[in-house]
Amino acid sequence: MSHLLEVKNLKKYFKTANGALHAVDDVTFTLDENETLGVVGESGCGKSTLGRTVLGLHDATEGEIWFDGENITNVSKAKFHELRKEMQIIFQDPYASLNPRMTVGDTIAEPLQIYGMFTEGNDRDVRVKELMDLVGLDQRFINSYPHELDGGRRQRIGIARALALEPRFIVCDEPVSALDVSIQAQILNLMQDLQEKQNLSYLFITHNLSVVKHISDKIMVMYLGQMVELSDGKELFVSTLHPYTKALLSAIPRASIHQNRQRIILKGELTSPINPKPGCRFAPRCNYATPACFEKNPALEEVLPNHFVACHNVKEINGL
């Protein structure tokens, strides 16, 4: 069976005055219909650049992106314009991504206008109201402006806009990070409901492992542009194998004082992503680093069934 999205050895480097910044370095994954891949890592790890490169908002430096059986790597702008109907994005900050001078109705209708769909006044309003119902946004807000709404409602506008063209794949770039914790759960539930109803596939980007835990079928952990761990969502929390993932997980607040998990504090310098030195990029901060870690970059290998890790010492560290 072919995958909806297949990314093979994708690289995205940016030229800087000091050399090439390796924002995304050799990332490979697949995504099927109705599936969510959570992408987790600290800010600057390349997860947003990965999402934007997949969507054609950045040109890939190397590697391939296949969508629905077609190689779409660095296709023409016109082709990407067509693809955008099927591949959409939801941004982190709903306020910054909305035009303050456009009403809710006009904002949701804008993609329809760009693609010449539902252009008649009546048709357009019916479709906009359908989308507002779909995302749980009361129709009375159709003539409101973004500043009149709270963060949760503004993010619902962003989601309605993304759904307007009936896409199959959505890059969700930190979609709940700017929201209050109480609203985050509502938006995550909404996104899960919409996934079921609309048969959507998500690339769900976040710095927060506890957010992806509930929504992801698979989780990829990135560190300085590279994949360090990839597994089924539940498996990652049952057997956390990479030292960096262990540190991320240790930072999640515990639900109960009886759950004994010690916070791992990462010390040491971050490796520069500009012309990175050979060796594991996590080595300067890793408690398990050995001399070999500073010489050779570990490859991503299947350590347990469907559980991939890039670490020279993964077996010794985890007693496998």
Q: How many CB atoms lie within 10 A of CB 274?
A: 14
Question: Near ligand SF4 by CB under 6 A, which window of 113-121, 144-152, 187-195, 310-318?
Answer: 310-318
Strands in 307-309's sheet, in edge-to-edge order, are 87-90, 169-173, 201-206, 36-40, 218-223, 226-232, 307-309, 301-304
Select 186 or 271, whichever has its Cβ closest to ligand SF4.
271
In the complex, the smallest distance separating the C-beta of residue 76 from ligand SF4, rounded to whole angstroms, is 40
Residue from 112, 293, 300, 303 touching ligand SF4 (CB under 6 A): that is 293
Chain positions 244 to 283 lying near ligand SF4, rule: CB under 6 A, are 280, 282-283
Write out the two tokens for 236.
């990652």
**Residue 221 binds to ligand SF4 (criterion: CB under 6 A):** no
**Residue 47 binds to ligand SF4 (criterion: CB under 6 A):** no
> For the chain, how long is the longest CA-to-CA vector?
69
Beta bridge partners of 62: 11
- Structural contact between residues 95 and 179, judged by C-beta atoms closer than 8 angstroms: no
Site string for ligand SF4, 227-246 (x = CB under 6 A): ----------------x---
Alpha carbons 217 and 95: distance in angstroms, whole number: 29
Select 208 or 297, whichever has its Cβ closest to ligand SF4.
297
Select 51 or 243, whichever has its Cβ closest to ligand SF4.
243
Question: Near ligand SF4 by CB under 6 A, which window of 54-62, 108-116, 246-254, 305-313?
Answer: 305-313
Q: Is the dihedral of CA 35, 72, 198, 88 positive or negative?
A: positive
Roughly how many angstroms between the first and final C-alpha of the chain, as a whole number? 32
Select 151 or 284, whichever has its Cβ closest to ligand SF4.
284
Nearest CA among 188, 126, 134, 131 for reference residue 161: 131
The site that binds ligand SF4 (CB under 6 A) totals a number of residues, namely 12
Q: Which residues bind ligand SF4 (CB under 6 A)?
A: 243, 280, 282-283, 286, 288-289, 293, 298, 311-313
